[in-house]
Amino acid sequence: MDNLVIMKNQQAVTTSLQVAETFNKNNRDVLAAIDDLKEGVAENYADLFYEDNYIHPQNKQSYRQVIMNRDGFTLLAMGFTGKKALQFKLKYIEAFNQMEKEIQQPKLPTSQRELAMLALSANEETNERVDVIEKEVADLKDNQKIGADDYGYLSRRVHQRVAEVARGFGKITKEQRGKLYKDINSGIKQITGVGTRSQLREKHYPMVIEYINDWEPSTATKTVVRQMSLDLNDIA
């Protein structure tokens, strides 16, 4: 009558073999009763029972057994009648209750190794939580709108870079300079995915600075600016 209920995969279960022994039945008869139940509970069978094998201690042969949880046992035991069967059912209910209680209670470490493993697990969990928090903080910071100081610096660098490139075209008009501004701002929008510079986020700042420092107008923009200079010369 020992070990009426065991723990398997963090669940209190028993076996057809144990049920057969407890209720003084043949295992094949218990298996037959379970098979009879299978048709009636087809959709829920897998939640109540699952197939398994055991090795016979004498002939070392493998034989079928079925493992069942509390609900599966309750369904099966409905067919067991008599005063003695009732006593066994009560013992099973008590065993299930005790096993489920043990599963729900946290197991305290009983050795130095278990204590060390528990401490290591707690430390890993703490580190994981810290990593998550740090990532969330970093994400919040990265997605904040760019600060006024950084925005002002970016604007100054845009003006400076346009002025540097404009010198390569000689004397140009305000309209030609506008073509250069349109080109550099279009590039900033393209690499960051924002509509205007005022929508830039902190995470964009390093990338935009690098882009401005390396910026050169597109071939099309250069051609347009040069053509505008030629047109002005023709008019003059």
Would you mind telling me the total number of residues written for the chain in this entry? 236
Among positive and negative, which fits the CA dihedral 14, 18, 20, 23?
negative
Query: What are the pLDDT digits (tens) for 35-55?
Result: 988 877 878 888 889 899 999
Question: Worst-scoring range by mean pLDDT, 182-196, 205-219, 221-235?
Answer: 221-235
pLDDT at 202 over 60: yes
Alpha-carbon distance of 201 to 138, in angstroms, equals 12
pLDDT at 1: 45
End-to-end Cα separation, the chain, in angstroms:
113
pLDDT at 236 over 60: no
pLDDT at 167 over 70: yes
> Is 153 in contact with 212 (CB distance < 8 Å)?
no
pLDDT at 102 over 60: yes
Q: Give the range with max mean pLDDT: 16-25, 102-111, 127-136.
A: 16-25
Question: What percent of the chain has pLDDT above 90?
Answer: 33
pLDDT at 133: 63
Question: Worst-scoring range by mean pLDDT, 8-17, 186-195, 217-226?
Answer: 8-17
CA 143, distance to chain mean position in Å, is 22
Average pLDDT for the chain: 84
